[in-house]
C-alpha cells in the first residue's frame, strides 16, 4: 500500500507533478500548478529536476514548454503503471484533470 503523503520521487512536488503528467499525458508548468494547487515556482523546480533526471521530456510549443513522461526512458511502462497506481486514492486530482478543457472553444460559441 502506498501512503497518501509519500514521496517516492524525492519530494511531494516531484511525485505530484509526475502523477499529474501521467493523467494529463502532456502539460505545461502553469496548468500543472493550477491542477495541483501548488505554487508555480515549485512546479517549475520539480519539472526542472525531473527533466535533469531524465524522467520527463520537454518540447517547445510556441513560447511555452510542454512536458510529458520521457518516452525514451528505459522503464517508462513500469513508471506509468506505478504512477497510475499512485493516482488511485487521489479522486480530487483525477476529477480536476477530467474537468480540464483541453481544446479551444469554437469561435462564437456561447459560454
Q: Hey, where are the domains in the chain?
A: 12-96
CATH architecture assigned to 12-96: Orthogonal Bundle (1.10)
The structure's pTM equals 0.85
pLDDT for the residue numbered 10:
87
Residue 3 has pLDDT above 60, yes or no: no
Q: What is the 3-state secondary structure (H, E, C) of the chain?
A: CCCCCCCCCCCHHHHHHHHHHHHHCCECHHHHHHHHCCCHHHHHHHHHHHHHCCCEEEEEECCEEEEEECCCCCCHHHHHHHHHHHHCCCHHHHHHHHCCCCCCCCCCCCC
Residue scoring higher pLDDT (43 or 101): 43
Confidence bin at 99 (pLDDT 50/70/90): confident
Q: What is the tens place of the pLDDT at every residue in 15-72?
A: 999 999 999 999 999 999 999 999 999 999 999 999 999 999 999 999 999 999 999 9
Amino acid at each position: 500500500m502506498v501512503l497518501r503523503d509519500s514521496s517516492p520521487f524525492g519530494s511531494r512536488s516531484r511525485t505530484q507533478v509526475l502523477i499529474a503528467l501521467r493523467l494529463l499525458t502532456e502539460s505545461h508548468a502553469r496548468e500543472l500548478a493550477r491542477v495541483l494547487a501548488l505554487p508555480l515556482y515549485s512546479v517549475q523546480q520539480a519539472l526542472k529536476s525531473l527533466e535533469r533526471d531524465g524522467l520527463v521530456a520537454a518540447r517547445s510549443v510556441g513560447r511555452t514548454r510542454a512536458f510529458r513522461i520521457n518516452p525514451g526512458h528505459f522503464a517508462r511502462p513500469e513508471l506509468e503503471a506505478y504512477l497510475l497506481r499512485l493516482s488511485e486514492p487521489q479522486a480530487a486530482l483525477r476529477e480536476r484533470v477530467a474537468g480540464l478543457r483541453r481544446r479551444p472553444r469554437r469561435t462564437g460559441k456561447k459560454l
